[in-house]
Amino acid sequence: MYKILILGGSGLVGSAVINEMNKYNQFEVYSTYFQNPKLLNQDRRFKLNIEDSDNISSILNTLKPNIIVSCLRGNFNKQLIVHMKIAEYLKKNGGSLYFFSTTNVFDNDFSIPHNEDDLPNSQTDYGQYKIECEKKLIDILHDNACILRLPQVWGKNSPRISELLNSSNNNKEVIVYPKLFHNTNTDVMIARQLCYIIDNNLKGIFHLASEDIVNYKDFYCELITRLGFNNIEIKENLEEEGYFALLSKRSNEFPIQLRFTNKATINYLIN
């Protein structure tokens, strides 16, 4: 039995992870939230305020999880402190951390899509925070820190879908990048992939992304058309170009049902 604590269980990915894990008898799932508790009974959720540096220690000492999944959001410096406390707890008491990271760790190099072996290189505060967190977690936990980098994430109730709906209803423009290539994943697929990684004790860094890369504008235009958002005005931004995408050298470690394309992302969103 895995006693699992999901940090940030109210967000898009965190909610999907909870839903998926609740299908399995081997996962005893708990979650933190800040404002909006979701999905779990009151005895399975903890309010976490990252402004209070002692809050996370109290939760860990009360629950004693052996697996922690981080979908945490908020102030980068405060998040880093929380993650360091989690890492030290797991180092002392045993257990593993699954840390969701991002394509932005490569946002200073759009010349190629990046795989797990590439050295992160970021020019943004967000990307640099994720790089620092990845490095420190690995330094403390070694193989017990699993880094899960995500591309653009979609869900049927995701902020991106809500933004498209809002644009359609209010005659707002959607900006697309005709010279940019990217790839995607869905909240549900990420949750399934994570469960497989945990259940099969896979280690290291994973790029959880579609196996193909697609033109940004083409992806958005097809999605908008198939969703039936007929009133959206497309505005092209030609300044961004290159590859903002993740590729994986480890996709063969997943069964076929956990490997997918960008077309599969669109098909999921419209069905």
Using the predicted structure, report yes or no on whether residue 7 has a pLDDT greater than 80. Answer: yes
Tens of pLDDT, residue by residue over 181-192, are 999 999 999 999
- Residue 142 region, left (φ>0) first, then alpha (ψ -120 to 50), else beta? left
Are 76 and 129 in contact by the 8 Å Cβ rule? The answer is: yes
Tens of pLDDT, residue by residue over 54-85, are 999 999 999 999 999 999 999 999 999 999 99
Two tokens, residue 89: 């707890």
- Measured between alpha carbons, how far is 38 from 10 in angstroms, rounded to an integer? 6
What is the reported pLDDT for 193? 98
- Measured between alpha carbons, how far is 225 from 230 in angstroms, rounded to an integer? 7
Q: Report DSSP state, residue 271.
A: -
What is the reported pLDDT for 35? 73
Tens of pLDDT, residue by residue over 182-222, are 999 999 999 999 999 999 999 999 999 999 999 999 999 99
Tens of pLDDT, residue by residue over 226-259, are 999 988 999 999 999 999 999 999 999 999 999 9
Q: CB under 8 Å to 236, separation ≥6 — which residues? A: 175, 176, 177, 178, 217
Q: CB under 8 Å to 129, separation ≥6 — which residues? A: 76, 79, 80
Instruction: For each of the domains in the chain, give its residue range(s) and CATH number, in order of start.
Output: 2-152+184-207 (3.40.50.720), 156-183+214-270 (3.90.25)
What is the reported pLDDT for 86? 97
Coil, strand or helix at 161:
helix
Coil, strand or helix at 79:
helix
What is the reported pLDDT for 158? 96
Query: Exposed, middle or buried by CB within 10 Å (0-12, 13-18, 19+), for 239?
Result: exposed
Residue 87 sits at the vertex; the CA angle it makes with 205 and 186, to the nearest 5 degrees, is: 40
